[in-house]
Structure 1
Amino acid sequence: MNQPKIKRDPEGTRRRILLAAAEEFAAGGLFGARVDQIARRAETNERMLYYYFGSKEQLFTAVLEHAFSALVEAERSLDLEGVAPIEAMTRLAHFVWDYYRDHPELLRLVNNENLHEARYIKASNRTRELISPVVETLTNILERGQKAGLFRTDVDPLKFYITLSGLGYYIVSNRFTLEATFGLDFSEATQREQMVKMNTELLLAYLTRR
Protein backbone atom coordinates (compact mmCIF):
# COMPACT_ATOMS: atom_id res chain seq x y z
CA MET A 1 0.00 0.00 0.00
CA ASN A 2 1.28 3.41 -0.92
CA GLN A 3 2.03 5.73 1.96
CA PRO A 4 0.23 9.11 1.86
CA LYS A 5 2.51 11.93 0.79
CA ILE A 6 3.46 14.42 3.48
CA LYS A 7 2.55 17.93 2.41
CA ARG A 8 5.53 20.22 2.85
CA ASP A 9 5.07 23.82 3.89
CA PRO A 10 8.50 25.51 3.85
CA GLU A 11 7.11 29.03 4.31
CA GLY A 12 4.92 27.89 7.18
CA THR A 13 7.86 26.13 8.84
CA ARG A 14 10.08 29.15 8.39
CA ARG A 15 7.43 31.44 9.85
CA ARG A 16 6.86 29.15 12.86
CA ILE A 17 10.60 29.13 13.54
CA LEU A 18 10.73 32.93 13.34
CA LEU A 19 7.82 33.40 15.72
CA ALA A 20 9.12 30.81 18.17
CA ALA A 21 12.61 32.32 18.05
CA ALA A 22 11.21 35.82 18.64
CA GLU A 23 9.63 34.63 21.88
CA GLU A 24 12.76 32.82 23.01
CA PHE A 25 15.13 35.69 22.13
CA ALA A 26 12.81 38.27 23.71
CA ALA A 27 12.76 36.25 26.92
CA GLY A 28 16.40 35.15 27.14
CA GLY A 29 18.37 37.21 24.67
CA LEU A 30 20.70 35.75 22.06
CA PHE A 31 22.80 33.78 24.52
CA GLY A 32 19.96 32.71 26.81
CA ALA A 33 17.73 31.31 24.07
CA ARG A 34 18.13 27.60 23.31
CA VAL A 35 17.98 26.22 19.79
CA ASP A 36 16.33 22.98 20.90
CA GLN A 37 13.60 24.93 22.70
CA ILE A 38 13.01 27.11 19.64
CA ALA A 39 12.68 24.01 17.46
CA ARG A 40 10.32 22.38 19.94
CA ARG A 41 8.15 25.49 20.17
CA ALA A 42 8.06 25.71 16.35
CA GLU A 43 7.06 22.04 16.12
CA THR A 44 10.07 21.17 13.98
CA ASN A 45 13.64 20.01 14.58
CA GLU A 46 17.02 21.69 14.92
CA ARG A 47 18.11 20.44 11.50
CA MET A 48 15.33 22.45 9.82
CA LEU A 49 16.22 25.50 11.86
CA TYR A 50 19.81 25.40 10.60
CA TYR A 51 18.59 24.57 7.07
CA TYR A 52 16.51 27.76 6.88
CA PHE A 53 18.69 30.16 8.89
CA GLY A 54 22.22 28.77 8.98
CA SER A 55 23.08 29.53 12.60
CA LYS A 56 21.62 30.81 15.84
CA GLU A 57 23.15 34.23 15.18
CA GLN A 58 21.65 34.41 11.68
CA LEU A 59 18.30 33.43 13.13
CA PHE A 60 18.60 36.27 15.65
CA THR A 61 19.28 38.68 12.78
CA ALA A 62 16.24 37.34 10.90
CA VAL A 63 14.09 37.84 14.00
CA LEU A 64 15.25 41.46 14.27
CA GLU A 65 14.48 42.01 10.58
CA HIS A 66 11.03 40.47 10.98
CA ALA A 67 10.25 42.61 14.04
CA PHE A 68 11.26 45.85 12.29
CA SER A 69 9.38 44.80 9.15
CA ALA A 70 6.19 44.30 11.20
CA LEU A 71 6.60 47.78 12.71
CA VAL A 72 7.09 49.33 9.26
CA GLU A 73 3.99 47.57 7.90
CA ALA A 74 1.93 48.85 10.83
CA GLU A 75 3.26 52.37 10.28
CA ARG A 76 2.25 52.28 6.60
CA SER A 77 -1.39 51.87 7.64
CA LEU A 78 -1.30 55.28 9.33
CA ASP A 79 -3.12 57.87 7.19
CA LEU A 80 -2.92 61.42 8.55
CA GLU A 81 -2.86 63.35 5.27
CA GLY A 82 -6.09 65.29 5.80
CA VAL A 83 -5.80 65.69 9.57
CA ALA A 84 -5.00 69.09 11.12
CA PRO A 85 -1.30 69.33 12.18
CA ILE A 86 -1.71 69.32 15.99
CA GLU A 87 -4.23 66.47 15.91
CA ALA A 88 -2.11 64.59 13.37
CA MET A 89 1.01 64.84 15.54
CA THR A 90 -0.99 63.69 18.56
CA ARG A 91 -2.34 60.66 16.70
CA LEU A 92 1.10 59.77 15.37
CA ALA A 93 2.63 59.88 18.86
CA HIS A 94 -0.17 57.77 20.30
CA PHE A 95 0.18 55.28 17.45
CA VAL A 96 3.89 54.78 18.19
CA TRP A 97 3.36 54.53 21.95
CA ASP A 98 0.47 52.07 21.52
CA TYR A 99 2.60 49.89 19.26
CA TYR A 100 5.30 49.70 21.91
CA ARG A 101 2.70 48.86 24.54
CA ASP A 102 1.23 46.09 22.38
CA HIS A 103 4.61 44.69 21.23
CA PRO A 104 6.94 44.73 24.25
CA GLU A 105 8.89 41.87 22.66
CA LEU A 106 10.21 44.36 20.07
CA LEU A 107 11.65 46.50 22.84
CA ARG A 108 13.24 43.51 24.54
CA LEU A 109 14.85 42.47 21.25
CA VAL A 110 16.18 46.00 20.68
CA ASN A 111 17.49 46.17 24.25
CA ASN A 112 19.30 42.89 23.74
CA GLU A 113 20.76 44.07 20.43
CA ASN A 114 22.08 47.17 22.18
CA LEU A 115 23.96 44.88 24.56
CA HIS A 116 25.69 43.54 21.44
CA GLU A 117 26.37 47.11 20.26
CA ALA A 118 24.04 46.62 17.25
CA ARG A 119 26.36 43.95 15.81
CA TYR A 120 23.57 42.01 14.11
CA ILE A 121 21.61 44.99 12.79
CA LYS A 122 24.84 46.34 11.28
CA ALA A 123 25.35 42.99 9.55
CA SER A 124 21.88 43.10 8.00
CA ASN A 125 21.41 44.83 4.66
CA ARG A 126 17.65 44.37 4.96
CA THR A 127 17.35 46.16 8.31
CA ARG A 128 19.04 49.23 6.89
CA GLU A 129 16.48 49.23 4.07
CA LEU A 130 13.57 49.30 6.54
CA ILE A 131 13.43 53.08 6.90
CA SER A 132 10.55 54.05 9.13
CA PRO A 133 7.63 55.58 7.16
CA VAL A 134 6.69 57.44 10.35
CA VAL A 135 9.71 59.74 9.95
CA GLU A 136 8.44 60.83 6.53
CA THR A 137 4.90 61.19 7.90
CA LEU A 138 6.19 63.23 10.82
CA THR A 139 8.20 65.47 8.48
CA ASN A 140 5.09 66.17 6.40
CA ILE A 141 3.07 67.05 9.51
CA LEU A 142 5.84 69.36 10.71
CA GLU A 143 5.94 71.14 7.37
CA ARG A 144 2.16 71.60 7.31
CA GLY A 145 2.21 72.90 10.88
CA GLN A 146 5.04 75.30 10.11
CA LYS A 147 3.29 76.67 7.02
CA ALA A 148 0.16 77.23 9.12
CA GLY A 149 2.21 79.12 11.72
CA LEU A 150 1.47 76.51 14.40
CA PHE A 151 4.88 74.85 14.85
CA ARG A 152 8.32 76.27 15.42
CA THR A 153 10.59 76.15 12.39
CA ASP A 154 13.82 74.86 13.95
CA VAL A 155 12.73 71.24 14.55
CA ASP A 156 14.94 68.41 13.30
CA PRO A 157 12.40 65.72 12.22
CA LEU A 158 14.60 62.71 12.95
CA LYS A 159 15.69 63.95 16.38
CA PHE A 160 12.10 64.85 17.20
CA TYR A 161 11.02 61.34 16.23
CA ILE A 162 13.72 59.85 18.47
CA THR A 163 12.44 62.01 21.35
CA LEU A 164 8.84 61.07 20.65
CA SER A 165 9.77 57.40 20.43
CA GLY A 166 11.76 57.53 23.67
CA LEU A 167 8.82 58.89 25.64
CA GLY A 168 6.79 55.79 24.83
CA TYR A 169 9.72 53.38 24.84
CA TYR A 170 10.91 54.12 28.36
CA ILE A 171 7.77 53.30 30.32
CA VAL A 172 7.36 49.98 28.50
CA SER A 173 10.99 48.92 28.48
CA ASN A 174 11.50 49.83 32.14
CA ARG A 175 8.04 49.10 33.51
CA PHE A 176 9.17 46.43 35.99
CA THR A 177 11.96 48.51 37.53
CA LEU A 178 9.70 51.58 37.59
CA GLU A 179 7.10 49.62 39.52
CA ALA A 180 9.71 48.15 41.87
CA THR A 181 11.39 51.49 42.63
CA PHE A 182 8.54 54.00 42.39
CA GLY A 183 5.45 51.84 42.77
CA LEU A 184 4.11 53.01 39.39
CA ASP A 185 2.58 50.29 37.24
CA PHE A 186 2.36 51.65 33.70
CA SER A 187 0.59 48.54 32.45
CA GLU A 188 -2.38 49.76 34.50
CA ALA A 189 -4.77 51.79 32.33
CA THR A 190 -5.13 54.88 34.55
CA GLN A 191 -1.39 55.24 35.13
CA ARG A 192 -0.69 54.84 31.43
CA GLU A 193 -3.37 57.35 30.40
CA GLN A 194 -1.91 59.93 32.75
CA MET A 195 1.58 59.41 31.34
CA VAL A 196 0.34 59.54 27.74
CA LYS A 197 -1.46 62.82 28.51
CA MET A 198 1.69 64.32 30.08
CA ASN A 199 3.97 63.17 27.25
CA THR A 200 1.55 64.53 24.63
CA GLU A 201 1.49 67.92 26.33
CA LEU A 202 5.30 67.93 26.54
CA LEU A 203 5.65 67.27 22.82
CA LEU A 204 3.09 69.86 21.80
CA ALA A 205 4.48 72.47 24.21
CA TYR A 206 7.88 72.13 22.56
CA LEU A 207 6.45 72.19 19.03
CA THR A 208 4.24 75.23 19.61
CA ARG A 209 6.73 77.23 21.72
CA ARG A 210 7.48 80.60 20.16
Structure 2
Amino acid sequence: MKKTSVRTEPNKRDTLNRLLDVARQEFSKKGLSGARIEDIARGAGITKQLIYHYYGSKERLFSAVLDESSQRIMAELIALEVEHLAPTAALRALLNCCFDQYRDDPFLGALALEGIRYHDANDTPRNIFADRSPALAEKFDNILKRGAQCGEFKTVEDTRLFLATAALLTSGGFTNHYSVSVLIGVDTRSAQGMQLWRQYSADFIISSISLTPTPV
Protein backbone atom coordinates (compact mmCIF):
# COMPACT_ATOMS: atom_id res chain seq x y z
CA MET A 1 0.00 0.00 0.00
CA LYS A 2 1.32 3.42 -0.93
CA LYS A 3 1.93 5.68 2.07
CA THR A 4 0.15 9.00 2.14
CA SER A 5 2.33 11.98 3.01
CA VAL A 6 0.81 13.91 5.88
CA ARG A 7 1.93 17.48 6.34
CA THR A 8 2.27 18.35 10.01
CA GLU A 9 1.20 21.89 10.77
CA PRO A 10 3.49 23.83 13.13
CA ASN A 11 2.03 24.50 16.53
CA LYS A 12 0.46 27.83 17.36
CA ARG A 13 3.56 29.22 19.08
CA ASP A 14 5.75 28.54 16.04
CA THR A 15 3.16 30.15 13.80
CA LEU A 16 2.93 33.24 16.00
CA ASN A 17 6.71 33.55 16.23
CA ARG A 18 7.02 33.38 12.46
CA LEU A 19 4.18 35.86 12.01
CA LEU A 20 5.65 38.35 14.48
CA ASP A 21 9.08 38.08 12.86
CA VAL A 22 7.69 38.85 9.39
CA ALA A 23 5.42 41.60 10.72
CA ARG A 24 8.34 43.16 12.57
CA GLN A 25 10.32 43.46 9.35
CA GLU A 26 7.36 44.82 7.38
CA PHE A 27 6.47 47.44 9.99
CA SER A 28 10.13 48.48 10.28
CA LYS A 29 10.51 48.92 6.53
CA LYS A 30 7.12 50.38 5.64
CA GLY A 31 5.68 51.75 8.87
CA LEU A 32 2.26 50.97 10.28
CA SER A 33 0.37 52.72 7.50
CA GLY A 34 2.44 51.25 4.68
CA ALA A 35 2.58 47.63 5.83
CA ARG A 36 -0.11 45.38 4.35
CA ILE A 37 -1.67 42.40 6.11
CA GLU A 38 -1.68 40.51 2.80
CA ASP A 39 2.11 40.86 2.48
CA ILE A 40 2.67 39.86 6.09
CA ALA A 41 0.45 36.81 5.70
CA ARG A 42 2.23 35.77 2.51
CA GLY A 43 5.65 36.16 4.14
CA ALA A 44 4.58 34.13 7.17
CA GLY A 45 3.00 31.43 5.02
CA ILE A 46 -0.46 31.83 6.53
CA THR A 47 -3.77 33.41 5.54
CA LYS A 48 -4.70 36.96 6.40
CA GLN A 49 -7.87 35.56 7.97
CA LEU A 50 -5.68 33.74 10.50
CA ILE A 51 -3.92 37.01 11.36
CA TYR A 52 -7.27 38.67 12.02
CA HIS A 53 -8.32 35.62 14.05
CA TYR A 54 -5.24 35.99 16.29
CA TYR A 55 -5.05 39.79 16.53
CA GLY A 56 -8.24 41.34 15.17
CA SER A 57 -6.58 44.28 13.41
CA LYS A 58 -3.32 45.52 11.95
CA GLU A 59 -2.93 47.92 14.88
CA ARG A 60 -3.20 45.14 17.42
CA LEU A 61 -0.67 43.09 15.47
CA PHE A 62 1.66 46.11 15.53
CA SER A 63 1.18 46.43 19.30
CA ALA A 64 2.06 42.75 19.67
CA VAL A 65 5.24 43.30 17.65
CA LEU A 66 6.19 46.23 19.90
CA ASP A 67 5.51 44.14 23.00
CA GLU A 68 7.62 41.24 21.71
CA SER A 69 10.54 43.56 20.96
CA SER A 70 10.19 45.33 24.31
CA GLN A 71 10.15 42.03 26.15
CA ARG A 72 13.38 40.96 24.45
CA ILE A 73 15.37 44.14 24.92
CA MET A 74 14.22 44.77 28.49
CA ALA A 75 14.89 41.17 29.52
CA GLU A 76 18.42 41.39 28.12
CA LEU A 77 19.17 44.64 29.93
CA ILE A 78 17.69 43.52 33.24
CA ALA A 79 19.54 40.19 33.11
CA LEU A 80 22.91 41.76 32.20
CA GLU A 81 25.40 40.69 34.86
CA VAL A 82 27.20 43.85 35.98
CA GLU A 83 26.88 43.59 39.76
CA HIS A 84 30.44 42.28 40.08
CA LEU A 85 31.86 45.31 38.26
CA ALA A 86 32.90 48.62 39.78
CA PRO A 87 30.07 51.18 39.42
CA THR A 88 31.62 53.12 36.51
CA ALA A 89 32.41 49.94 34.59
CA ALA A 90 28.95 48.54 35.38
CA LEU A 91 27.22 51.67 34.13
CA ARG A 92 29.31 51.72 30.95
CA ALA A 93 28.51 48.06 30.28
CA LEU A 94 24.80 48.74 30.67
CA LEU A 95 24.92 51.83 28.44
CA ASN A 96 26.90 49.93 25.80
CA CYS A 97 24.32 47.15 25.90
CA CYS A 98 21.56 49.73 25.28
CA PHE A 99 23.48 50.95 22.24
CA ASP A 100 24.44 47.51 20.96
CA GLN A 101 20.83 46.35 20.88
CA TYR A 102 20.17 48.97 18.21
CA ARG A 103 23.48 48.38 16.43
CA ASP A 104 22.98 44.63 16.19
CA ASP A 105 19.30 44.70 15.18
CA PRO A 106 18.79 46.32 11.76
CA PHE A 107 15.06 46.79 12.38
CA LEU A 108 14.99 48.08 15.95
CA GLY A 109 15.66 51.77 15.27
CA ALA A 110 12.91 52.11 12.65
CA LEU A 111 10.51 50.03 14.72
CA ALA A 112 11.14 52.13 17.84
CA LEU A 113 10.56 55.34 15.87
CA GLU A 114 7.32 53.99 14.42
CA GLY A 115 6.28 52.91 17.91
CA ILE A 116 6.87 56.44 19.22
CA ARG A 117 4.63 57.87 16.49
CA TYR A 118 1.96 55.28 17.22
CA HIS A 119 1.89 55.88 20.98
CA ASP A 120 1.95 59.65 20.52
CA ALA A 121 -1.03 59.52 18.15
CA ASN A 122 -3.14 56.94 20.00
CA ASP A 123 -4.45 56.31 23.48
CA THR A 124 -2.72 52.95 23.82
CA PRO A 125 -3.13 50.52 26.72
CA ARG A 126 -0.33 49.74 29.15
CA ASN A 127 2.30 47.54 27.52
CA ILE A 128 5.36 45.40 28.22
CA PHE A 129 7.73 48.37 27.97
CA ALA A 130 5.86 50.20 30.72
CA ASP A 131 5.58 47.04 32.83
CA ARG A 132 9.30 46.25 32.70
CA SER A 133 10.61 49.81 33.05
CA PRO A 134 10.57 49.81 36.89
CA ALA A 135 12.87 46.77 36.97
CA LEU A 136 15.32 48.45 34.60
CA ALA A 137 15.17 51.65 36.65
CA GLU A 138 15.96 49.61 39.76
CA LYS A 139 19.01 48.09 38.04
CA PHE A 140 20.28 51.57 37.18
CA ASP A 141 19.45 52.80 40.67
CA ASN A 142 21.51 50.05 42.30
CA ILE A 143 24.55 51.00 40.21
CA LEU A 144 24.12 54.70 40.86
CA LYS A 145 23.78 54.17 44.62
CA ARG A 146 26.86 51.94 44.71
CA GLY A 147 28.75 54.63 42.83
CA ALA A 148 27.66 57.34 45.24
CA GLN A 149 28.56 55.22 48.27
CA CYS A 150 32.10 54.53 47.06
CA GLY A 151 32.75 58.06 45.83
CA GLU A 152 32.70 57.40 42.07
CA PHE A 153 29.39 59.19 41.38
CA LYS A 154 27.49 62.22 42.52
CA THR A 155 24.16 61.41 44.16
CA VAL A 156 21.48 61.09 41.47
CA GLU A 157 18.19 62.39 42.85
CA ASP A 158 15.89 60.98 40.16
CA THR A 159 16.95 57.68 38.61
CA ARG A 160 14.02 57.63 36.17
CA LEU A 161 15.09 60.98 34.69
CA PHE A 162 18.65 59.71 34.41
CA LEU A 163 17.46 56.49 32.73
CA ALA A 164 15.29 58.38 30.26
CA THR A 165 18.19 60.68 29.33
CA ALA A 166 20.54 57.72 28.92
CA ALA A 167 18.03 55.89 26.72
CA LEU A 168 17.55 58.92 24.48
CA LEU A 169 21.28 59.50 24.09
CA THR A 170 22.31 55.92 23.40
CA SER A 171 19.52 55.32 20.87
CA GLY A 172 19.54 58.80 19.30
CA GLY A 173 21.86 57.90 16.44
CA PHE A 174 19.32 55.29 15.32
CA THR A 175 15.93 56.81 16.15
CA ASN A 176 16.97 60.34 15.08
CA HIS A 177 19.55 59.27 12.53
CA TYR A 178 19.20 62.21 10.12
CA SER A 179 19.47 65.06 12.64
CA VAL A 180 22.28 63.51 14.65
CA SER A 181 24.24 62.61 11.50
CA VAL A 182 23.94 66.14 10.11
CA LEU A 183 24.95 67.75 13.40
CA ILE A 184 28.05 65.62 13.97
CA GLY A 185 28.97 65.38 10.28
CA VAL A 186 29.18 61.57 10.28
CA ASP A 187 26.56 59.03 9.25
CA THR A 188 25.57 57.41 12.57
CA ARG A 189 24.66 54.18 10.77
CA SER A 190 28.17 53.79 9.33
CA ALA A 191 30.80 51.78 11.21
CA GLN A 192 32.68 54.98 12.03
CA GLY A 193 29.55 56.82 13.12
CA MET A 194 28.32 54.01 15.34
CA GLN A 195 31.68 53.66 17.07
CA LEU A 196 31.87 57.43 17.58
CA TRP A 197 28.36 57.71 19.02
CA ARG A 198 28.71 54.57 21.17
CA GLN A 199 31.82 55.96 22.85
CA TYR A 200 30.69 59.56 23.11
CA SER A 201 27.19 58.90 24.45
CA ALA A 202 28.49 56.62 27.22
CA ASP A 203 31.31 59.06 28.10
CA PHE A 204 28.89 61.98 28.20
CA ILE A 205 26.39 60.21 30.46
CA ILE A 206 29.05 58.92 32.85
CA SER A 207 30.87 62.26 33.03
CA SER A 208 27.64 64.00 34.04
CA ILE A 209 27.70 62.20 37.41
CA SER A 210 31.32 61.17 37.77
CA LEU A 211 33.48 62.41 40.66
CA THR A 212 36.57 60.92 39.04
CA PRO A 213 38.05 61.38 35.55
CA THR A 214 36.11 59.34 33.00
CA PRO A 215 38.32 56.51 31.70
CA VAL A 216 38.78 56.41 27.94
Relative to the length of structure 2, the TM-score reads 0.85
CA distance in 1, matches of 2:128, 2:164: 21
- The 10-residue stretch of structure 1 (30-39 or 103-112) with the greater mean CA deviation from structure 2: 103-112
Alignment RMSD, CA only?
2.5
1:166 corresponding residue in structure 2: 168
1:176-187 to structure 2, matched below 5 A, reads 176=178, 178-179=180-181, 183-187=185-189
1:7 corresponding residue in structure 2: 8
1:51 corresponding residue in structure 2: 53
Structure 2 segments unaligned to the other structure (5+ residues): none
Given that 1:39 and 1:49 are in contact with CA atoms closer than 8 Å, whether structure 2 keeps it comes out as: yes
CA distance in 1, matches of 2:129, 2:6: 38
Which whole-Å deviations, capped at 9, do the CAs of 1:84-111 have from their partners, x for residues lacking one? 0111111111111111222252332232
Aligned CA distance change for structure 1 residues 203 and 191 (closer, same or farther; 3 Å): same
1:107 corresponding residue in structure 2: 109
Is 1:19 aligned to residue 21 of structure 2?
Answer: yes
Shift of 1:129: 2.3
CA distance in 2, matches of 1:192, 1:70: 22
Given that 1:86 and 1:204 are in contact with CA atoms closer than 8 Å, whether structure 2 keeps it comes out as: yes
Given that 1:93 and 1:200 are in contact with CA atoms closer than 8 Å, whether structure 2 keeps it comes out as: yes
Structure 1 segments unaligned to the other structure (5+ residues): none
Letter in 2 for 1:6: R
CA distance in 2, matches of 1:93, 1:114: 21
1:91 corresponding residue in structure 2: 93
- The 10-residue stretch of structure 1 (134-143 or 111-120) with the greater mean CA deviation from structure 2: 111-120
1:116 corresponding residue in structure 2: 118
Give the paired residue count: 210
Shift of 1:179: 4.5
Shift of 1:174: 2.8
Aligned CA distance change for structure 1 residues 184 and 37 (closer, same or farther; 3 Å): same
1:60 corresponding residue in structure 2: 62
Given that 1:72 and 1:132 are in contact with CA atoms closer than 8 Å, whether structure 2 keeps it comes out as: no
CA distance in 2, matches of 1:206, 1:128: 26
Given that 1:186 and 1:192 are in contact with CA atoms closer than 8 Å, whether structure 2 keeps it comes out as: yes
CA distance in 2, matches of 1:159, 1:30: 29
Aligned CA distance change for structure 1 residues 132 and 71 (closer, same or farther; 3 Å): farther
Which SS does the other structure have where 2:189 is aligned?
Answer: coil
Given that 1:121 and 1:127 are in contact with CA atoms closer than 8 Å, whether structure 2 keeps it comes out as: no
